[in-house]
């Protein structure tokens, strides 16, 4: 009986050499033919990453902390500003300031490339159902495939080091910004788009005057998600040679040094909370008033903020 | 004068087989049958119309009658399936993308049912939107927007956000946005439907005043017959995508083309639709102030009226004399001593009900020309018989409607 049923399972007749096919595809075809192309793709990532890392490491600790504190205060309020101050002091006190800056440079580089690729792709997929239908399974795969699986071909194509780590991070963190940009633009009321068309607006004017501003909150939510995913790749990136806090955790893991791992982990968590709160604040439309200007920001920081529009109207 | 806007045999079909559906519609099949056979919905069915410059043309119909689709065909927010559409003699359906954009930028603007204001822009920026798209500089755009906002009574709110305004105020912004570009044709898709009744009436009156000021041709969509009768110089009643009747308000109410239209209008109070101009007469004698009461009585009897107007030598109204006043007067008395002053005056478009409400039943009403002379008059007897006829018509139609 069991024999009879086993006839129905394909493995009864032999094994499909799927692993060999993939191996062949990547090692014997992709790598020899396209390695130079992939190497060339590294160049812009490398430039941005190096520039950012050098800049962040060059900024003295008090200056960086002060700027971040002001940003947090400006976009997320007093409480987050206070938290930022404590978090930065703590990170420096436990001795991982340089690693934190390296991680930050990697994260920001990844987010930068995610944004310049993801926002246009999101806009494109909002405007064309065909693009959206094509992109959807690709994004699904990107979001479900375990990052360890694509670490191997990344190492084969890009080698090891910081830049391959950033590239793995980009692949992992890209989907939310595409999805949420597309969603945000599709959610803009059809009536508003119709009104813009009725007044003779071009596609471009509709996109920049109506759709993007109204989708901004959702796009910023996408950016926030992308940032958070990028941070969660910090440790995995360390497996293929990326440095920073991820490396601290990875080394701690390798030596069973729980203290060392915790130091890196705490750094990641603190930086994640600070960046999350600040980017969430960026998407808050209630900040869209006169205090956006430079002089407005200075006045606000000095406690001389002009009254908000809503307060002026008494509603 | 050629029509500002005209449509010939316009069709719009939504669905998989538009051409086939148009053929069937031309062959006389009805909407249900066409849907059964082709799976397509005929939204606009063979509409022909001519709108003169500065006219307010109202399209009235229930929801699903195709009126919103029709108005969107005019600026091609919805592409008509077949037919001809001319604006100032230019074929709109042949226009390429750029030509169409120029039309929307310069000639035709639109007001939407749910306002469609941009929530992220201030009231002034909203009002200036059409000018911004046109590429007008910031300062000039702002000046024109504020001017349009002042015209709709919102000058003080230029820097507020739309969300801080009430519904009525938001629609005023919508109206200012459409007027700021000095449109020749204003398309209004149920603009006042989302407002409460009192605000709606204010807005209707304001629209009439604004139309005079901006001299725009208006195509106005509504499902409210009273609104149609208040605003329209002509009204089209639309059903299942086709026009059932087109005509001035009095004709729609007074001579409905079929039961469908009659059913609509049966609830209308005719005394509010029939105007003094429609029943006024020019053949009534006038009295001079120096005439004797006996002569006045004779004139009154000959004309078979209940009162006569007294005019000076230039034909300007001084007062009126009623039959009852003459009966009790000394035959030798002068008309000027027994007349009631001043004479009642009205406009050609004053509805009969307004005279009743003014408590002025019993004296003749003078209609003046633009020099202030008596042009025509309405006798109380005329007024009463017109009201009685209107009343009878209301009753009949109500019986007919339920039968």
Computed over every residue of chain A, the mean pLDDT equals: 87
Q: Taking chain A, what is the end-to-end CA distance rounded to the nearest angstrom?
A: 78
To which residue do tokens 């307004």 refer?
B354
Query: Does residue A260 form part of some domain?
Result: yes
Query: Does residue A2 form part of some domain?
Result: no
Query: Does residue A20 form part of some domain?
Result: no
For residue A314, pLDDT over 80 is answered with no
Asked if B77's CB is within 8 angstroms of A200's CB, the reply is: no
Q: Are B303 and B381 in contact (CB under 8 A)?
A: no
What's residue A8's pLDDT?
Answer: 86
Q: Which among B101, B112, B120 has the least Cβ separation from residue A200?
A: B101
For residue A294, pLDDT over 70 is answered with no
ipTM: 0.73
Q: Are A93 and A300 in contact (CB under 8 A)?
A: no
Tokens of residue B7, six digits? 């449509």
The answer to whether B181 faces chain A, any CB pair under 8 Å, is yes
Consecutive H or E run containing A173: helix A162-187
The answer to whether A210 faces chain B, any CB pair under 8 Å, is yes
Residues of chain B positioned with their CB less than 8 A from the CB of A200: 101-106, 130, 133-134
What's residue B62's pLDDT?
Answer: 87
Q: Taking chain B, what is the end-to-end CA distance rounded to the nearest angstrom?
A: 44
Asked if A197's CB is within 8 angstroms of B77's CB, the reply is: yes
DSSP output for A177-220 = HHHHHHHHHHHS-HHHHHHHHHTT--HHHIIIIIIHHHHHHHHH
The answer to whether B110 faces chain A, any CB pair under 8 Å, is yes
What's residue B396's pLDDT?
Answer: 57
Angle subtended at Cα B317 by Cα B313 and Cα B322, rounded to the nearest 5 degrees = 110
Q: Which among A192, A199, A288 has the least Cβ separation from residue B104?
A: A199
Q: Which CATH number fits domain B277-386: 1.10.340.30, 3.10.580.10, 2.60.40.420, 1.25.40.10?
A: 3.10.580.10
Interval A200-216: pLDDT, tens: 999 999 999 999 999 99
The answer to whether B102 faces chain A, any CB pair under 8 Å, is yes
Buried b (16+ CB within 10 A) or exposed e, B176-209: bbbbbbbbbbbbbbbbbbbbeeebbeebbeebee
Tell me yes or no: is domain B52-272 CATH 3.40.50.300: yes
User: Span B370-395, mean pLDDT?
Assistant: 77
How many structural domains does chain A have? Answer: 1
What's residue A306's pLDDT?
Answer: 46
Interval B200-229: pLDDT, tens: 888 898 899 888 888 899 999 999 888 898
Q: Are A212 and A154 in contact (CB under 8 A)?
A: no
Interval B61-86: pLDDT, tens: 888 889 999 999 999 999 999 999 99
For residue B307, pLDDT over 90 is answered with no
What share of chain A has pLDDT > 70, as a percent? 89
More confident residue, B323 or A184: A184
Asked if A288's CB is within 8 angstroms of B120's CB, the reply is: yes
Considering only A47-51, B74-78, B369-373, which range has the smallest mean pLDDT? B369-373
Query: Does residue A180 form part of some domain?
Result: yes
Q: Is A162 exposed, middle or buried (0-12, 13-18, 19+ CB in 10 A)?
A: buried
The answer to whether B101 faces chain A, any CB pair under 8 Å, is yes
What's residue A309's pLDDT?
Answer: 41
Strand order in the sheet with B344-346: B344-346, B365-368, B374-378
Residue A71: which domain range? 35-284
In chain B, where are the structural domains located? 52-272, 277-386
What's residue B254's pLDDT?
Answer: 77
The answer to whether A198 faces chain B, any CB pair under 8 Å, is yes
Query: Does residue A312 form part of some domain?
Result: no
Nearest to A67 by CA among A54, A81, A80, A55: A81
Asked if A313's CB is within 8 angstroms of B102's CB, the reply is: no
Cα–Cα dist A60/A159, whole Å: 32
Q: Are B218 and B40 in contact (CB under 8 A)?
A: no
What's residue A310's pLDDT?
Answer: 39
The CATH number linked to A183 is 1.10.3720.10
What's residue B395's pLDDT?
Answer: 60
Cβ-Cβ contacts under 8 Å between A and B: the total is 63
A24: how many CB neighbours lie within 10 A of its CB? 12
Cα–Cα dist B330/B297, whole Å: 11
Most A-contacting residue of B120, B123, B138, B154 (CB-CB within 10 A), to test interface: B120
Nearest to B141 by CA among B107, B115, B180: B180
The answer to whether A285 faces chain B, any CB pair under 8 Å, is yes
Q: Where are the beta strands (DSSP E) in B161-231?
A: 185-189, 217-222
Interval B261-289: pLDDT, tens: 888 777 777 777 777 877 888 888 888 88
Q: Which residue of A has its CA nearest to B159?
A: A309
Q: Which among A210, A285, A309 has the least Cβ separation from residue B118?
A: A210
Strand duo B344-346 + B365-368: pairing? parallel
Q: Which among B116, B118, B160 has the least Cβ separation from residue A194?
A: B116
CB-based contacts of B380: which residues, under 8 Å, 6+ apart? B306, B307, B361, B362, B363, B364
Residues in chain B: 403
For residue A116, pLDDT over 80 is answered with yes
Interval B36-54: pLDDT, tens: 989 999 999 999 999 999 9
The SS3 assignment for B207 reads helix
Computed over every residue of chain B, the mean pLDDT equals: 86
Consecutive H or E run containing A280: helix A258-282
For residue B380, pLDDT over 70 is answered with yes
Query: Does residue A280 form part of some domain?
Result: yes
Query: Does residue A301 form part of some domain?
Result: no
What's residue A133's pLDDT?
Answer: 95
Q: Which residue of B has its CA nearest to A286?
A: B120
Cα–Cα dist A241/B141, whole Å: 57
What share of chain B has pLDDT > 70, as a percent? 96
pLDDT tier for residue A291 given thresholds of 50, 70 and 90: very low
Q: Which among B116, B133, B164 has the least Cβ separation from residue A313?
A: B164
Interval B101-145: pLDDT, tens: 999 999 999 999 999 999 999 999 999 999 999 999 999 999 999
Minimum distance, in Å, between the CA of residue B83 and any CA atom of chain A: 21
pLDDT tier for residue A300 given thresholds of 50, 70 and 90: low
């Amino acid at each position: 009986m069991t024999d009879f049923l086993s006839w129905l399972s394909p493995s009864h007749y032999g094994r499909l050499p799927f692993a060999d096919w993939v191996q062949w595809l990547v090692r014997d075809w992709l790598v020899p033919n396209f390695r130079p192309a992939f190497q060339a793709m590294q160049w812009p990532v490398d430039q941005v990453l190096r520039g950012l890392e050098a800049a962040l490491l060059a900024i003295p600790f008090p200056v960086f902390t002060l700027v971040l504190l002001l940003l947090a205060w400006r976009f997320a309020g007093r409480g987050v500003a206070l938290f930022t101050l404590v978090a930065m002091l703590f990170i420096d006190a436990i001795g991982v300031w340089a690693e934190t800056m390296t991680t930050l440079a990697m994260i920001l580089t990844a987010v930068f490339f995610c944004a310049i690729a993801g926002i246009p792709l999101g806009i494109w997929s909002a405007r064309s159902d065909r693009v959206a239908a094509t992109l959807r399974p690709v994004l699904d795969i990107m979001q479900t495939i375990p990052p360890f699986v694509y670490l191997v071909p990344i190492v084969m194509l890009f080698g090891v080091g910081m830049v391959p780590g950033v590239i793995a991070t980009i692949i992992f963190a890209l989907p939310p910004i595409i999805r949420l940009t597309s969603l945000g633009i599709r959610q803009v009321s059809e009536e508003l788009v119709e009104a813009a068309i009725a007044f003779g607006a071009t596609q471009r004017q509709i996109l920049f005057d109506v759709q993007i501003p109204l989708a901004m909150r959702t796009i910023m939510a996408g950016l926030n998600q992308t940032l958070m995913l990028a941070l969660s790749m910090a440790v995995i990136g360390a497996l293929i040679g990326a440095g920073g806090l991820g490396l601290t955790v990875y080394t701690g893991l390798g030596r069973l040094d729980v203290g060392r791992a915790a130091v890196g982990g705490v750094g990641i968590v603190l930086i994640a909370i600070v960046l999350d709160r600040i980017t969430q604040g960026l998407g808050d439309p209630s900040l869209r008033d006169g205090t956006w200007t430079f002089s407005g920001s200075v006045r606000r920081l000095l406690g001389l903020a002009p009254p908000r529009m809503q307060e002026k109207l008494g509603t | 004068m050629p029509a500002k806007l005209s449509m010939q045999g316009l069709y719009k079909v939504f669905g998989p087989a538009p051409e086939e559906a148009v053929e069937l519609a031309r062959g006389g099949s009805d909407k249900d049958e066409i849907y059964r056979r082709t799976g397509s919905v005929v939204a606009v069915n063979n509409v022909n119309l001519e709108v003169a410059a500065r006219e307010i043309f109202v399209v009235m119909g229930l929801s699903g009658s195709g009126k919103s689709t029709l108005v969107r065909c005019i600026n091609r927010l919805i592409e008509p399936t077949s037919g001809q559409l001319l604006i100032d003699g230019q074929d709109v359906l042949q226009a390429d993308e750029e030509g169409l954009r120029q039309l929307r930028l310069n000639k035709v603007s639109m007001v939407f049912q749910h306002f469609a204001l941009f929530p992220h822009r201030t009231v002034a920026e909203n009002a200036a939107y059409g000018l911004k798209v046109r590429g007008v500089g910031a300062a000039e755009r702002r000046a024109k927007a504020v001017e349009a906002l002042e015209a709709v009574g919102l000058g003080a709110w230029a820097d507020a956000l739309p969300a801080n305004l009430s519904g009525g105020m938001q629609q005023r912004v919508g109206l200012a946005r459409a007027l700021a570009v000095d449109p020749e044709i204003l398309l209004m898709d149920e603009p006042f439907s989302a407002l409460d009744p009192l605000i709606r009436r204010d807005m209707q009156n304001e629209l009439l005043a604004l139309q005079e000021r901006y001299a725009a041709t208006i195509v106005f969509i509504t499902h409210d017959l009273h609104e149609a009768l208040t605003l329209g110089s002509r009204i089209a009643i639309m059903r299942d995508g086709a026009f059932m009747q087109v005509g001035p308000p009095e004709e729609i109410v007074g001579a409905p083309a079929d039961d469908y239209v009659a059913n609509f209008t049966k609830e209308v109070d005719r005394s509010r639709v029939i105007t003094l101009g429609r029943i006024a007469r020019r053949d009534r004698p006038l009295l001079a102030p120096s005439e004797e009461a006996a002569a006045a009585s004779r004139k009154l009897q000959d004309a078979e009226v209940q009162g006569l107007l007294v005019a000076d030598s230039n034909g300007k109204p001084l007062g009126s004399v009623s039959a009852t006043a003459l009966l009790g007067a000394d035959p030798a008395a002068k008309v000027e001593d027994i007349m009631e002053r001043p004479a009642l005056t009205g406009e050609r478009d004053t509805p009969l009900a307004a005279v009743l409400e003014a408590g002025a039943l019993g004296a003749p009403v003078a209609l003046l020309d633009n020099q202030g002379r008596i042009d025509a008059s309405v006798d109380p007897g005329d007024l009463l018989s017109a009201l009685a006829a209107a009343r009878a018509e209301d009753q009949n139609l109500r019986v007919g409607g339920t039968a």
